[in-house]
A and B are shown apart, each in its own frame.
Chain A
Amino acid sequence: MSRFTGVWGSFTHLDATTDTIEQVRDKGVQPTVLSPCPRHEIEHALGDPQSSVPWIALVCGAMGTFIGFSFPAWTASDWVLPVSGKPIVAIPTFAIIGFELTILLAALSTLLGLSLLAVFDSFKNPMPTAAKRYLRFQRDRFGVVVRCDSAQAEEFAEILRRNGAEEVHVEKD
């Protein structure tokens, strides 16, 4: 049994897709949109949703900076090797390690963060299996998926058709 109840359709044109998104949002429903490439027109139509990936990168990058300075400082203090009266905990030389670990941890956490957030979002916004298997969304078609109860399905299907959807599918339990 499908977990999805609602409507989905495919579009050839970008402006038709954005018009549909706006009309669906006017009805109080946030649709899921599929596109072969990122388009700022779609983002605007969806109300410019934001990602929390930068915060993850910032926190993990700061952790990298902290580890990059504190770890060499600890190892230098753990086994003191005095050379020519130079400082044991030498901040300028540890800046290199600090910088590299900042970049490394921020990059790793960015990848992990965006992967996990995308997975969470896919659970929050389930898609109909038929839409997942529609082979043209990666190629040259735009898709609009509207989750709604069975009673509203026909109303949203009509919005999709009115805006020139190439195909419209109603999915009910």
Chain B
Amino acid sequence: MGVITYDYNAAEGRVVIDEHKGHPGIESTTYSYARINDEMLAMLEIPRPSYLLLLLGFLSALGLGALCLSIQVDVGIGYSGISHPIGWGFYITNFVFWIGIGHAGTLISAVFYLTRAPWRTAIYRAAEAMTVFGVMTAGLFPLLHTGRPWLAYWLIPYPNERMLWVNFKSPLLWDVFAVTTYLTVSVLFFMLGLIPDMAILRDEAFRKGQKLKGMLYTMMALNWRGTNHQWVHYMRGYLIFAALATPLVFSVHSIVSWDFAMSSVPGWHTTIFAPYFVAGAIFSGLAMVMTVLIPVRVVFGLEGYITDHVIQSVCKVILFTSFIVGYAYGTEFFIGYYSGSPYERAIFYYRPFGEMQSWTLLGDNQINFPQIAFWLMVFCNVISPIPLWRWKVRNNLIAVWITCVLINVGMWFERFNIVGSSLQHEYDPAAWGEYWPTIVETGITIGSFGFFFTLFTLFAKALPPMAITELKENTEPPLQNPPKEH
């Protein structure tokens, strides 16, 4: 049976959900408990060669990153393109980008849980895993960027030999608190969601006589039996986690944005940065979720779970956030002009057109890296999602996937556009400079993608990529006397 897609019931004026018939656009809401159990567990069986080949590809990228990382740490930060006046380059760009990728998971698992969006169920576990892996990847970069990662513990609030504490008024320290809190809460939220599913895996392993696996899952299930006492505390706790994680999602990228906005650098010192960064983070995070889950749907045959309705819903949020991001780009330029500040005007000319030597529309025609980043950012983040307004495009998996890959590219360049360009052109022309990344920085950037995708690929086979318990919760319960049709 094909997947039924009802975005909207014109007669009712909304999507109609009948608890006893399931959601009209999500086929899995009509599946039995046993079917959901079996289909989810089948995904964890021995991988096919294509999976191993894919894993090898990601491991190779990770290996390249590790090699470049060892060179960077061994030789020192001078081996990167980071030099006066550009103190923040690829590493901080990667940090901001990966933190942004980590936003979709908590948004889907917490915000859409509180708003009871039914399409979140099939994708939230994978999105949460991406959050954890995204923040783990992001966390590597500030440490690497310091040049002496072995002294990272200096960031922890404890007094030094002269009883001098860390500076709690610094946005960089706020970032340490925000990112570590976000990582902790995301990991706990992810693990909490896994507990009932671990009990399913435990029982299944014992049923098949796999004692070793069963013992491992017994430890991970934390004595979960599914009693009403456990469920009542669990569900209440889960709701609190969702309620706590929701403001956290918005705070983390706001605080990351204040790393920039609290400084007096032209192009950074704006009040729009917090909402602009948050919208961008959700935008890129959702695009990454689709980039990963569309192949997962095809490979594992999950059309009944990640239905066209689910993809359409995510695309609508992507469109919405694309709109906010595009609006923020425009606002930045308008405020740059309207502020009357020559420094603000100069940086917003420099980003798209380069040096102001000739005052022509194309500047001096010497392309620099921020210019490339700017135009890629505009094309990928503002122009490429426009076709998603059409239902037919949102219903075309290949078109959606290509758009999402482009958005990921665009969002990386947006981060670079912010990080890289302003430092090249601050107030004093005598202190201007130019930044081009070195091979080592590029290799570490590729390695970060290898790290993220390796972790996700391993996750997809080691743990249930969908929340089995929640899929059951959203499906029609088995009834002896079903309610009569009305």
Per-position contact with A for B168-202: 1 when CB-CB < 8 Å, else 0?
Answer: 11000010011001001100110010001001101
B228 and A49 contact, CB distance less than 8 A: yes
Residues from 111 to 136 in A contacting B, C-beta threshold 8 Å: 111, 113-115, 117-119, 121-122, 125, 127, 132, 135-136
B228 contact from A43, A61, A107, A117, Cβ within 8 A: A43
Residues from 29 to 45 in B contacting A, C-beta threshold 8 Å: 32-34, 37
Determine the residue in chain B with the shortest Cβ distance to A139: B37
Residues of A within 8 A of B234 (CB): 38, 114, 118
Interface size class of B (residues with CB under 8 A): 35 or more
A46 and B228 contact, CB distance less than 8 A: yes
A118–chain B nearest beta-carbon distance, Å: 5
Per-position contact with B for A65-77: 1 when CB-CB < 8 Å, else 0?
Answer: 0000001100110
B168 and A72 contact, CB distance less than 8 A: yes
Rounded to whole angstroms, the CA-CA distance of A38 and B467 in the bound complex is 13
B469–chain A nearest beta-carbon distance, Å: 5
Give the interface SS of chain A, mostly helix, strand, loop or mixed.
helix
Residues of A within 8 A of B473 (CB): 37-39
B184 and A13 contact, CB distance less than 8 A: no
B32 and A104 contact, CB distance less than 8 A: no
B7–chain A nearest beta-carbon distance, Å: 27
Stretch at the interface among B243-251, B323-331, B422-430, B431-439: B243-251
A94 interfacial contact with B, CB 8 Å: yes
B231 and A107 contact, CB distance less than 8 A: no
- Using a Cβ cutoff of 8 Å, how many contacts connect chains A and B? 182
Per-position contact with B for A45-73: 1 when CB-CB < 8 Å, else 0?
Answer: 01001110110010001000000000110
Name, among A42, A57, A104, A106, the residue most crowded by chain B CB atoms within 10 Å (CB to CB).
Answer: A104
Determine the residue in chain B with the shortest Cβ distance to A74: B165
Per-position contact with B for A23-35: 1 when CB-CB < 8 Å, else 0?
Answer: 0000000001111
Residues of B within 8 A of A156 (CB): none
B392–chain A nearest beta-carbon distance, Å: 36
Residues of B within 8 A of A121 (CB): 227, 229-230, 233
A41 interfacial contact with B, CB 8 Å: yes
Residues of B within 8 A of A33 (CB): 227-228
A140 contact from B37, B159, B227, Cβ within 8 A: B37
A54 and B236 contact, CB distance less than 8 A: yes
Rounded to whole angstroms, the CA-CA distance of A50 and B232 in the bound complex is 7
A78 and B163 contact, CB distance less than 8 A: yes
B227 and A34 contact, CB distance less than 8 A: yes
A14 and B200 contact, CB distance less than 8 A: no
B237 and A113 contact, CB distance less than 8 A: yes
A28–chain B nearest beta-carbon distance, Å: 18
A36 and B226 contact, CB distance less than 8 A: yes
A140 and B477 contact, CB distance less than 8 A: no
B264 interfacial contact with A, CB 8 Å: no
A107 and B169 contact, CB distance less than 8 A: no
- The answer to whether residues A110 and B181 also contact, given A96-B255, A135-B207 and a CB cut-off of 8 A, is no
Query: Chain B interface (Cβ within 8 Å of chain A)?
Result: 32-34, 37, 157, 159, 163-165, 168-169, 174, 177-178, 181, 184-185, 188-189, 192, 196, 199-200, 202-204, 206-207, 222-223, 225-237, 240-241, 244-245, 247-248, 251, 255, 469-470, 472-473, 477-481
